[in-house]
Chain A
Amino acid sequence: MTTVIYLPFVLSIVLVGLSRSVCRRTSPRAAAWSVTAAMVLLAASTVGALVLLAWPLAARLPVIAREGGWHPSAVNHVVPVPVPVSILAAVILVVLAGLVIDQALRIRDGVVEVSRMHTELAPAGGAAVAVVQDSRPSAHALPGTLAHRGRVVVSTGLLDALDDEERAAVLAHEHAHLAHAHRLFVVVAALAAALDPVVWWCRHDVEFALERWADEDAASRTGRAVTARALARAALAKLSSVHQMPAPARATALGLARLGVAHRVAALLEPEQQQRRTALAWLVAILALVGIAAILWATRDTERLFELLQRH
């Protein structure tokens, strides 16, 4: 138990090391699925490991020991987890609970904002594409809610920067986000990152994979060259509009990303065959399954400890 139980922490670090390569080198769909799934599974096994490490603390409480039918001092003889480790695990669990609540509130705020945007766009009618009069180039997939269907929101600033072919590529890109429920991947990844802060660093990689996924979807409809051109033009238009902003506003306008638009354009300029590799994605999936297996193993050992305690 003692060694296997620390495996999820190690695997989380390995995932962070791998996720960037996975999201850059494998098929974006496979990358988004495997890294998001691995984040969830490793987050679950990390929390499981912390619970298993923390419980001996509770087992030492007289109330619980009486209920369980063992003597509090027996825990010291039977359980191989040192007390400081248990205390640390318990503290981390409390912090994680706070992070999850914080993240859940942020997601709720996000849903509220999306609903508000739907309401504000309502006067524009129920069209699939809403064009907003705004000289700053932008295009977004506004996810559907219970009351509203998802729609694409583009600014006149973006449309002005592109020709018709390129506009079609942008529309196809945003449509792909909606059709494949990409927002759910982001929400799930954010929650997993709250449970296992180590995998926090994978979030940007997942977002990059989702953008690449939508790019590839658009490319399959409008062509790789057109999609690459649309992205590059849109990005340059945005950069030139950002140059006119006051310095403090620039950073938020550009957005954070470990891998950005330039990488996406480069990927579209590569031949399609290069985008089909999935081997690394399988590696990530196996990694996550090992994490779950480790926790199941440790849980079984812990059950045995309970039996030992009661016999002591």
Chain B
Amino acid sequence: MAATAPSDHEVDIVPVRRDRSEPGTRRRRPGELEGDVLAALWASPEAMPPADVQAAVGGDLAYTTVMTILVRLHGKGLIERTKRGRAFAYRPVVAETEVVAEQVRRLLAHGNDRVAVLQGLIDGLRPEDETILRAMLAGMDGES
């Protein structure tokens, strides 16, 4: 339950600063690492060598751990790799498809109206939310 509970699956490599909840120093649950690595790859505009992935995911991970995860993800077909110099560079396999039938589009557009099918990321909007959301965006750092 508690995110800070020690896990048997991970080896303590560096003393973890438990009092800080900074991303990257937090203990991860098993399986979460794969998601983090995928997210890092997704965030990058181009293929990443393992060292870059390691840097993007967080300082508490050993290079070998990152390699293991990359190899595992590659084995699952979730990422693809290309030779770059002596190492491989990785990027997520993302299927872009135009063959998707109208059915899928219809379901995506109305994901919420059938029980137990799908709930979309941004379902639950009211037209009047527009003003609130604009104000929130304006208040955020990094607003371009």
Check if B86 is an interface residue, CB within 8 A of chain A: no
Q: Majority SS of interface residues in chain A?
A: helix
* Complex alpha-carbon distance, A223 and B56, angstroms: 12
Asked if A124 meets B121 with Cβ closer than 8 Å, knowing A103-B115, A225-B142, the reply is no
Across the interface, do A138 and B43 meet the contact criterion of CB distance under 8 Å?
A: no
Across the interface, do B133 and A120 meet the contact criterion of CB distance under 8 Å?
A: no
With a cutoff of 8 Å between Cβ atoms, the chain A residues found around residue B108 in the complex are 132, 134, 136, 138, 140, 153, 155
With a cutoff of 8 Å between Cβ atoms, the chain A residues found around residue B103 in the complex are 116-117, 120
Please name the residue on chain B nearest to A237 by beta carbon: B122
Asked if A129 meets B121 with Cβ closer than 8 Å, knowing A136-B109, A225-B140, A253-B110, the reply is no
Please name the residue on chain B nearest to A207 by beta carbon: B119
Asked if A164 meets B122 with Cβ closer than 8 Å, knowing A132-B97, A132-B108, A138-B108, the reply is no
* Complex alpha-carbon distance, A252 and B96, angstroms: 26
Asked if A269 meets B100 with Cβ closer than 8 Å, knowing A173-B121, A225-B141, the reply is no
Interface residue from B99, B100, B120, B132 paired with A255 (Cβ < 8 Å)? B120
Across the interface, do A139 and B115 meet the contact criterion of CB distance under 8 Å?
A: no
Stretch at the interface among B8-16, B33-41, B64-72: B33-41
Chain A interfacial residues counted at CB < 8 A: 86
Interface residue from A127, A171, A228, A235 paired with B122 (Cβ < 8 Å)? A235
Interface residue from A128, A168, A262 paired with B129 (Cβ < 8 Å)? A262
Interface residue from B21, B100, B111, B139 paired with A120 (Cβ < 8 Å)? B100
Taking CB atoms and an 8 Å cut-off, the chain A residues in 252-288 that contact chain B are 252-257, 259-262, 265-266, 269, 272
Across the interface, do B97 and A123 meet the contact criterion of CB distance under 8 Å?
A: yes
A-contact 0/1 string along B31-66, CB 8 Å cutoff: 110011011101111000000000000000000000
* Complex alpha-carbon distance, A259 and B124, angstroms: 7
B-contact 0/1 string along A83-115, CB 8 Å cutoff: 000000000000000000001001101110110
Please name the residue on chain A nearest to B96 by beta carbon: A131
A-contact 0/1 string along B82-110, CB 8 Å cutoff: 00000000001111111111011101111
Across the interface, do A265 and B43 meet the contact criterion of CB distance under 8 Å?
A: no
* Complex alpha-carbon distance, A211 and B104, angstroms: 22
Q: How large is the interface on B (under 10, 10 to 19, 20 to 34, 35 or more residues)?
A: 35 or more
Stretch at the interface among A3-11, A18-26, A182-190: A182-190
* Complex alpha-carbon distance, A9 and B99, angstroms: 51
With a cutoff of 8 Å between Cβ atoms, the chain A residues found around residue B114 in the complex are 106, 109-110, 113
Interface residue from A113, A133, A220 paired with B98 (Cβ < 8 Å)? A133
* Complex alpha-carbon distance, A213 and B105, angstroms: 26
Across the interface, do B120 and A139 meet the contact criterion of CB distance under 8 Å?
A: yes
Taking CB atoms and an 8 Å cut-off, the chain A residues in 129-187 that contact chain B are 129-134, 136-142, 153, 155-156, 158, 164-165, 167-168, 170-176, 179, 183, 186-187
> What is the distance, in angstroms, from A134's C-beta to the closest C-beta of chain B?
5
* Complex alpha-carbon distance, A111 and B118, angstroms: 10
- Can you give 29 A-B contacts (C-beta < 8 A)? A106-B114, A106-B116, A109-B114, A113-B107, A121-B97, A127-B92, A127-B95, A131-B97, A132-B97, A133-B98, A138-B108, A158-B121, A172-B39, A175-B35, A187-B116, A208-B124, A211-B124, A225-B140, A225-B142, A229-B140, A233-B137, A234-B121, A234-B122, A236-B133, A252-B110, A252-B112, A257-B123, A262-B129, A262-B132
The 9 closest A-B pairs by CB, nearest first: A257-B124, A255-B123, A260-B124, A124-B95, A168-B43, A124-B97, A110-B116, A255-B112, A127-B95
